[in-house]
Chain A
């Protein structure tokens, strides 16, 4: 009888490790057991990114300074410092004004579209690009330096339309689940079409299934929120019908392309209280 080659394989240890991993995986998928831990890790990662970015900028600034001619540096030190100070002040003022203009423009859009003034504007911290292009999970993280209390399931607005809703907050960040996330469901309407559109897990796409014979719309029709879920205000344009895919002989899938591309947005608005307009 042939002998097995000796290996470093104590199967009991592997079995224990295997079942422990399966238990962790099951607990996390079904009950989100490790969600707070992941939140802390995400927040820490974002902090590290911010810090490393500022360190890198400082180092590159130092190196570029060293490259300057030493004699000229001494000769013109005072003048350059003054000029630099003026330049930096000017730059900061300009950027500050640009930012203020962007924020105020965005706020104006929010006020005129949503007709409510209870809106907080947040700057984007990061978008989960790893999953955004390949997988079902589509998330954005927003900076919340003032730790404004934001509850779960508040609608999030960017550009000229809704982009998602808040999921949770951790450290100084707010996690937002985008409309295109596979777990997100958005009640929509377009003329006679009413349905709950689920994120397709692909950038800027949501879809809903519908009875073929009840479908009276056309490709290109504008789609609005219906407000039936109680989270999003009604009659906000969110996109247009871009594709109709037959599933069975009686059923079709309506694909809706969203109006706002989250990759192009810097500022996100969150309505902080419930309004009576839903």
Chain B
């Protein structure tokens, strides 16, 4: 994949994290943590597994860590792990329904949120936040999937 394409992908992921940053100030009052950034990254790996592999996932994670995270390595770790699992089951995902995909990716994003709380903010860990976030992110995934697919078909 060309460098300019990588820039487009990382820009969309960073835009997603920026959106999370902005919206979560309000949504967290209702115990909902949105995860656009992670869902967008997951979409790119899901849609173009042969182009986004371990090194790209790690570098995207590093960029996101530098801009948005409190610790370096957290997004790197999750991006690499997510990328690996998506690569492993990429052909099975092709026959999944929208519902199954949204459950899987939302589950992954909930795991991301849970791990973040456990590692960086254990006092604020709440199952209620996780359950609500899971449901909201499952709905968000459909929108992210359709929008990103339209975007990808236009750009690539």
Contact = CB atoms under 8 A, between A and B. Distances in A.
Interface stretch (A17-25, A147-155, A164-172, A215-223): A17-25
A8 interface: yes
Nearest to A133: B28
Interface in B57-75: 57-58, 61, 66-68, 70-74
B90 A24 contact: no
B155 to A, nearest CB: 21
B77 A22 contact: yes
Contacts of A26: 73
B120 A9 contact: no
A182 B121 contact: yes
Nearest to B84: A14
B contact patch SS:
helix
Contacts, number: 110
A contact patch SS:
helix
Contact of A134 (B24, B53, B90): B24
A25 B71 CA distance: 7
A201 to B, nearest CB: 4
B78 to A, nearest CB: 8
Interface residues of B, number: 41
21 contacts: A5-B92, A7-B87, A9-B88, A10-B53, A13-B55, A14-B54, A14-B80, A17-B55, A18-B77, A21-B58, A21-B77, A23-B73, A25-B77, A37-B72, A133-B28, A133-B29, A134-B28, A135-B121, A135-B124, A136-B124, A202-B123
Closest A-B pairs by Cβ, 5 of them: A25-B73, A24-B73, A135-B121, A21-B77, A21-B76
Given A21-B76, A136-B123, 14 more contacts: A7-B90, A17-B54, A20-B58, A23-B73, A25-B77, A28-B72, A34-B71, A34-B72, A41-B66, A131-B121, A133-B25, A135-B124, A136-B121, A136-B122
